[in-house]
Amino acid sequence: MKLLRYGPVGQEKPGLLDASGTIRDLSGVIPDLAGAALSAAGLAKLAALDPGSLPAVPGSPRLGPPTSGMKNLICIGLNYADHAAETGSPVPKEPIVFLKSLGALCGANDDVIIPKNSVKTDWEVELCIIIGTKAKCVSEAEALEHVAGYAVGNDVSEREWQIERGGAWDKGKGCDTFGPVGPWLVTKDEIPDPQNLSMYCDVDGVRMQDGSTRTMIFGVKTLVSYVSHMITLHPGDVIFTGTPPGVGLGKKPAPIFLKAGQVMKLGIQGLGEQTQKTVAYES
């Protein structure tokens, strides 16, 4: 299934994308895509529905983040061998874990705000894991039992703040709109091998990233298990799993960074596409 949330910011309703590409309203079935709705039993209930029996949503509404009620936006750094190489960094011996502010979360096609005084805002297409049930100290063998599905993410990053200003990476990761997720949650039954998905990111029509989850250092099972031993994972939580090469920071002969008025388009095989316009900060 492809599950989504549609409507104005803060007023999103749950929905389902049917086989014809029509959004079907789920608000008469569940209050939101959160909590128990993301469990195996909750997803089975939704899968048993006849999409044709659900109200069709007219037009092309805004799509919000595909889950709500999350407690954590977790990110994994330098998790692709070829990305680590382009940045001149050693391959991590254990996953590098950092957090995005929940305020960074936004819809897949929402505008991305270039922060005030930013000069090094960058893009990162990433596979996102969406947690379905509470996970605490789970084994790798158990990990996928706690996963509802996957989505496309853009781990937008301010590199000066992340790298040059001292302290944790979080400084350059948690700005408003720096976490587009979606357009929808694709349930894990539709993605039998999350470690074999092609992915890309274009900026103004130019292909910047062209990679595959095959080059991930730590896979989905490992990441869910590893993080769950440090941070209790809750339904709706999102794990950004790292990015392949081609980020602006790694461009040769000189880095390339985003300016207001540009368009990012990114996608992952089987998970859909996002398109964001960059806009200048306004107080």
DSSP states of 198-249 as a string? EEEEEETTEEEEEEEGGGBSS-HHHHHHHHHTTS-B-TT-EEE----S--GG
Question: Is 278 within 8 Å of 112 (Cβ atoms)?
Answer: yes
272-280/263-268 β-pairing: antiparallel
Helix (H) or strand (E) holding 140: helix 140-143
Q: What is the mean pLDDT of residues 53-62?
A: 97
- Nearest Cα residue to 154 out of 111, 193, 94, 116: 111
> Helices (DSSP H) in 48-106: which residue ranges?
81-86
- Nearest Cα residue to 139 out of 219, 74, 226, 236: 226
Asked if the model's pLDDT at residue 31 lies above 80, the reply is yes
HSE value, Cβ hemisphere, 13 Å, CA-based, for 73: 24
Q: Per-residue pLDDT tens for 111-140?
A: 999 999 999 999 999 999 999 999 999 999
Asked if the model's pLDDT at residue 167 lies above 80, the reply is no
SS3 68: coil
**With pLDDT > 70 as the criterion, what percentage of the chain qualifies?**
100
| Domain residue ranges in the chain | 2-63, 67-280
Asked if the model's pLDDT at residue 81 lies above 90, the reply is no
Q: Which CATH superfamily is domain 67-280 in?
A: Fumarylacetoacetase-like, C-terminal domain (3.90.850.10)
- For 146-159, give one letter per residue: b (16+ CB within 10 A) or e: bbbbbbbbbbbbbb
